[in-house]
Amino acid sequence: MHNILEVRHLSAGFSARKSEVKAVDDVSLLVPEGKIVGIVGESGCGKSMTARAVMGLIRYPGRVISGSVLLDGRELVGMPEKEKRALRGSKMSMIFQEPMTSLNPVMKVGRQVEEAIRIHEKVSREEAAHRSVEILTSVGVPEAEKRCLCYPHQLSGGLRQRVMIAMAMILDPRLLIADEPTTALDVTVEAQILQLMRTLSSGGTGILLISHDLGVIAQVCDHVYVMYAGRIVESAETAELFDRPLHPYTRGLLNSVRSLRGGGDVLDTIPGVVPNLMRMPAGCGFSPRCLECREECVRDVPRLVDEGDGHLIRCFLYEGEAAE
Ligand SMILES: Nc1ncnc2c1ncn2[C@@H]1O[C@H](COP(=O)(O)OP(=O)(O)OP(=O)(O)O)[C@@H](O)[C@H]1O
Ligand SMILES: [Mg+2]
């Protein structure tokens, strides 16, 4: 199958006083045509940074350190900004985690959606206005015509997020990156947005859906990458991952969701927090929290190995020698 997005050995981070800290460390991932691919992981594990690195939108002082990002076979790393700008919006677009920072506060939302259309397509004002109302309605904005006349601050957080989603989807991009697109929304709106993503992907768009919510991932993703402390620690088809989670971190994530849903009184959560970038463990990033941690886990970083049928896992429990 054709891969719309191919990320190879991507590292990105920040320059610190003495050294460089990596927020994204050797990440490789694929988004095939017409598929929804998920990245899941706790806060601070590098999901947004990965998304911004793909879009070429990392904010200073961050930067892409190494690796390759291919969009429909074209290399984006090192591409002149002008060319990348032409691709953003038309070929690839992103729904940002913080909608307020990506909307213009002094322009009515209708105008902003219209402009998003008119930057890339030659259509009249009337046509653009008509399409804006149409797409805003389709993402669940009630009385869209009226809302078009509002400024962003006059809308609720949920509505602003829907405006962002409309703007990202309006041009039917090849690649859509959605960074926590439904986190601020209630469940009925969330269901609508996820349905829109399915529709978009069935038309061929490749979607990279970022979420800390395994429930959202399970509902729509074909394939999942689990990220921890900047690295991919596990990757598999969605059904396979949920049936046979291998990494202690993935198992912990699933357990915490399952015990929440099951209504049990003891929450089986993972103790500890994601490590600070400045104090990353030398070995596996998860080792300080891992109940199955061994000597080598603290010392070395495990490789990402294929456990069969493309189920990838980065853990010494599954590396041949260590398992002996
Ligand atoms: N300007 C900065 N300087 C140094 N470190 C930064 C900077 N911005 C972000 N980071 C760090 O980069 C890491 C990755 O952040 P990122 O925003 O990608 O996480 P995330 O997985 O999207 O988390 P969340 O679920 O909270 O959105 C974090 O450890 C964060 O503290
Ligand atoms: Mg984020």
Mutating to test ligand 1, I would choose from 21, 25, 48, 63 the residue with most ligand atoms within 8 A of its C-beta, which is 48
User: Does 160 share its domain with 220?
Assistant: no
DSSP for residue 308: S
* CA distances from residue 81 to 59, 66, 78, 192 in whole angstroms, order as listed: 14, 17, 8, 34
The predicted structure's pLDDT at residue 158: 79
Residue nearest atom 27 in ligand 1 by C-alpha distance: 43
The predicted structure's pLDDT at residue 99: 67
- Interval 155-183 mean pLDDT: 87
DSSP 204-233: T-EEEEEES-HHHHHHH-SEEEEEETTEEE
Model confidence pLDDT, tens digit, residues 35-50: 999 999 988 899 999 9
Task: Please give the structure tokens belonging to residue 146.
Answer: 């009226």
Does residue 264 have a pLDDT over 50?
A: no
Burial (CB < 10 A; 0-12, 13-18, 19+), residue 276, is: exposed
Which of 72-76, 152-156, 192-196, 316-320 is predicted most confidently? 72-76
Provide the residue range defining the domain that includes 205: 3-91+173-323
Which amino acid would we find at residue 197? M
The predicted structure's pLDDT at residue 262: 55
User: Does 146 share its domain with 29?
Assistant: no
The predicted structure's pLDDT at residue 251: 94
> Which helix H or strand E contains 36, and what residues bound it?
strand 36-40
* CA distances from residue 164 to 13, 48, 114 in whole angstroms, order as listed: 26, 16, 12
How far, in Å, is the centroid of ligand 2 from the Cα of 45?
8
Q: Which residues contact 279 (CB under 8 A, 6 or more apart)?
A: none
Q: Which residues contact 134 (CB under 8 A, 6 or more apart)?
A: 144
Which amino acid would we find at residue 35? K
Between 185 and 202, the more confident residue is 202
Between 258 and 260, the more confident residue is 258
Which amino acid would we find at residue 284? C
Q: Which of 172, 201, 219 is the last residue of a domain?
A: 172
Selection from 315, 321, 291 nearest residue 303 by Cα: 315
Model confidence pLDDT, tens digit, residues 208-250: 999 999 999 999 999 999 999 999 999 999 999 999 999 999 9
- Interval 91-109 mean pLDDT: 86
39 contacts 230 by C-beta, under 8 angstroms: no
How far, in Å, is the centroid of ligand 1 from the Cα of 44?
5
Residue nearest atom 24 in ligand 1 by C-alpha distance: 43
User: Does 168 share its domain with 181?
Assistant: no
The verdict on the CB of residue 48 being under 6 Å from ligand 1 is yes
User: Does 205 share its domain with 290?
Assistant: yes
3-state secondary structure of 193: helix
CATH number at residue 240: 3.40.50.300
What are residue 69's DSSP bridge partners? 7
The verdict on the CB of residue 49 being under 6 Å from ligand 1 is yes
Task: Please give the structure tokens belonging to residue 217.
Answer: 């991932």
Selection from 231, 232, 233, 190 nearest residue 213 by Cα: 190
User: Does 130 share its domain with 78?
Assistant: no
Q: Which of 146, 172, 198 is the last residue of a domain?
A: 172
Residues 100/105/110/113 CA torsion (nearest 10 deg): -60
User: Does 117 share its domain with 234?
Assistant: no
User: Does 109 share its domain with 166?
Assistant: yes
User: Does 83 share its domain with 202?
Assistant: yes
Mutating to test ligand 1, I would choose from 95, 277, 278, 280 the residue with most ligand atoms within 8 A of its C-beta, which is 277
- Interval 66-73 mean pLDDT: 97
Which amino acid would we find at residue 234? E
Mutating to test ligand 1, I would choose from 22, 27, 49, 228 the residue with most ligand atoms within 8 A of its C-beta, which is 49
Residue nearest atom 30 in ligand 1 by C-alpha distance: 44
**Number of independent structural domains in the chain:** 2
Q: How confident is the model at residue 94 (pLDDT cuts 50, 70, 90)?
A: very high
Positive or negative CA dihedral for 49, 51, 54, 60? negative
Mutating to test ligand 1, I would choose from 39, 45, 280 the residue with most ligand atoms within 8 A of its C-beta, which is 45
User: Does 162 share its domain with 279?
Assistant: no
The predicted structure's pLDDT at residue 132: 94
User: Does 211 share its domain with 296?
Assistant: yes
The verdict on the CB of residue 63 being under 6 Å from ligand 1 is no
In angstroms, the CA 323 to CA 14 distance is 35
Give the ligand whose atoms come closest to the C-alpha of residue 60: 1
User: Does 119 share its domain with 82?
Assistant: no
* Beta-sheet strand order (sheet of 36-40): 92-95, 175-179, 206-211, 36-40, 223-228, 231-237, 312-313, 305-306
User: Does 274 share its domain with 216?
Assistant: yes
Residue nearest atom 6 in ligand 1 by C-alpha distance: 14
Q: Which residues contact 202 (CB under 8 A, 6 or more apart)?
A: 34
Q: Which of 154, 172, 190 is the last residue of a domain?
A: 172
Q: Which residues contact 323 (CB under 8 A, 6 or more apart)?
A: 316, 317
How far, in Å, is the centroid of ligand 1 from the Cα of 25?
13
